[in-house]
């Protein structure tokens, strides 16, 4: 009974310490909520529209104006300026932050009528690869449609029926069907992953100061070990506030999916299982670093150094297979990597637990490894503290 009362006393003490720390209280409680809402509104539109482009129209004919009209009707791009030559073109690209420049050559309409197949020159501004890809895709679609229309119209002028002219231009019909994220919505793609990144960051921050602050203030031996000397109990007591508040955050995130009309895992249990393993792995990893580096500032710095590149290395936005082997191995020891891999399947592909077995096993292994080495580290710390206390008592007695 005394052991149980000591356990609950330390749990209450841990919650008081956690909630009494203004930095932790602000960062851990308000941070994820703020970023969830902030990133949600940031990606709310879901796709890029009205990317500015510049047209250099050296022809100025009904055909070139028709092309301009088609470009203006494209949702992803908008014409910021129409020029007649290349004068100060580089300055104008900077001025309008143009994603692309299309140069319509002289005699464009005349060459089309004479079947000389004029060449359009398109310059893509690749200083931002994301907007460059959007602009390039929109231009390819629009210019391809325009080119097909011109070819079909030419055949019709020769007396060929419209249906036959279309089949002559496109003898093989190709249907491209997008699946899972049909509209290319970045809210569906990026927002859930960023929430996981934020949650990992704040858990690391909280765990960095958990044991380290006790060691710095010399309260681990004087207050903590007087109530329990169990390594298992010590770890559970320290992670319990983080687990409770993390579950609250997951519930808030789940509700915000409705607010922003983002995809939601159909089976809440699956969402809870993979998220629970993720939180356990991250917190145990944080405990290990906190015990290993008994200085809260150093522990925080190391965990932030690990967490900061985790999203880039995790294979969510860039294929992990394209990275050097050493980076792949490092990414595999960070819980965010298997979590994002499995969560993406649950969220966007409507998968179930059988579809993410590898991710669950990966997270489970990390939980066992980080839990085990955390236990070993805290047992060694308890042993040293007891030995030091025993030595001090013997010296005092003598």
DSSP letters of 86-108?
-TTHHHHHHHHT-SEEEEEPTTH
Residue 28 has what DSSP assignment?
I
Q: Are 359 and 341 in contact (CB under 8 A)?
A: yes
287, 291, 276, 268: which is closest to 352 by C-alpha?
268
Tokens of 49: 């529209």
Residue 83: is its pLDDT beyond 60? yes
64, 33, 71, 28: which is closest to 50 by C-alpha?
71
Residue 175: is its pLDDT beyond 50? yes
The three-class DSSP label of residue 181 is coil
In the chain, residues under CATH classification 3.40.1710.10 are 51-169
What confidence tier does 156 reach under pLDDT thresholds 50, 70, 90? Answer: low
Question: Rounded to an integer, what distance in angstroms lies between the CA atom of residue 215 and that of residue 217?
Answer: 6
Question: Rounded to an integer, what distance in angstroms lies between the CA atom of residue 290 and that of residue 284?
Answer: 10
Tokens of 38: 């902030």
Question: Rounded to an integer, what distance in angstroms lies between the CA atom of residue 215 and that of residue 295?
Answer: 8
Residue 171: is its pLDDT beyond 80? no
Reported as a single tens digit per residue, the pLDDT across 49-70 is 889 999 999 998 888 898 899 8
Residue 371: is its pLDDT beyond 90? yes
Question: Rounded to an integer, what distance in angstroms lies between the CA atom of residue 214 and that of residue 209?
Answer: 8
Give pTM, 2 decimals: 0.79
Q: Could you tell me the fold of the domain covering 51-169?
A: abc type-2 transporter like fold (3.40.1710)
* pLDDT mean over 97-119: 84
What confidence tier does 152 reach under pLDDT thresholds 50, 70, 90? Answer: low
Residue 58 has what DSSP assignment?
S
Number of C-alpha atoms within 13 angstroms, CB side, residue 318? 13
Q: In what order do the strands lie in the sheet with 121-124?
A: 77-83, 51-57, 100-104, 121-124
Sign of the dihedral defined by the CA atoms of residues 367, 369, 373, 375, in that order: positive
Tell me which of 398 and 182 has the higher pLDDT.
Answer: 182
Q: Are 199 and 34 in contact (CB under 8 A)?
A: no
Q: Are 54 and 83 in contact (CB under 8 A)?
A: yes
* pLDDT mean over 277-291: 93
Question: Rounded to an integer, what distance in angstroms lies between the CA atom of residue 201 and that of residue 218?
Answer: 26
Burial of 2 (0-12, 13-18, 19+ CB in 10 A): exposed
* pLDDT mean over 175-203: 80
């Amino acid at each position: 009974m005394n052991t149980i009362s000591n356990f609950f006393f330390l749990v209450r003490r841990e919650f008081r310490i956690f909630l009494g720390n203004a930095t932790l209280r602000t960062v851990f409680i308000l941070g994820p909520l703020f970023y969830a809402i902030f990133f949600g509104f940031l990606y709310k539109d879901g796709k890029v529209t009205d990317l500015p482009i510049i047209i250099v129209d050296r022809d100025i004919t009904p055909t070139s104006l028709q092309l301009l009209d088609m470009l203006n009707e494209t949702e992803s791009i908008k014409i910021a300026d129409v020029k007649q030559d290349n004068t100060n073109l580089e300055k104008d690209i900077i001025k309008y932050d143009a994603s692309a420049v299309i140069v319509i050559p002289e005699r464009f309409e005349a060459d089309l009528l004479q079947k000389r197949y004029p060449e359009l020159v398109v310059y893509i501004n690749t200083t931002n690869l994301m907007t460059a890809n959007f602009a390039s895709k929109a231009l390819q679609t629009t210019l391809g449609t325009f080119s097909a229309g011109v070819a079909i119209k030419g055949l019709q002028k020769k007396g060929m029926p419209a249906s036959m002219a279309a089949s002559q231009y496109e003898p093989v019909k190709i249907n491209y069907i997008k699946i899972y994220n049909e509209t290319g919505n970045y809210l569906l793609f990026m927002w859930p992953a960023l929430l996981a990144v934020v949650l990992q960051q704040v858990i690391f921050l909280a765990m960095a100061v958990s044991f380290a602050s006790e060691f710095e203030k010399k309260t681990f031996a004087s207050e903590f070990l007087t109530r329990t000397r169990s390594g298992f109990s010590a770890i559970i007591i320290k992670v319990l506030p983080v687990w409770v508040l993390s579950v609250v955050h997951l519930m808030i995130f789940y509700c915000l999916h409705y607010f922003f009309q983002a995809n939601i895992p159909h089976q809440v249990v699956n969402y809870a299982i993979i998220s629970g393993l993720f939180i356990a792995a991250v917190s145990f990893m944080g405990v290990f670093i906190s015990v290993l580096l008994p200085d809260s500032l150093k522990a925080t710095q190391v965990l932030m150094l690990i967490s900061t590149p985790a999203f880039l290395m995790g294979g969510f936005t860039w294929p992990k297979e394209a990275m050097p082997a050493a980076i792949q191995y490092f990414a595999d020891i960070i819980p965010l990597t298997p979590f994002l891999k499995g969560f993406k399947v649950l969220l966007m592909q409507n998968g179930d637990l059988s579809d993410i077995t590898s991710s669950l096993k990966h997270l489970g292994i990390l939980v066992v490894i980080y839990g085990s080495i955390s236990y070993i580290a805290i047992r060694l710390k308890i042993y040293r503290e007891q030995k030091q206390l025993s030595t001090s008592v013997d010296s005092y007695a003598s």
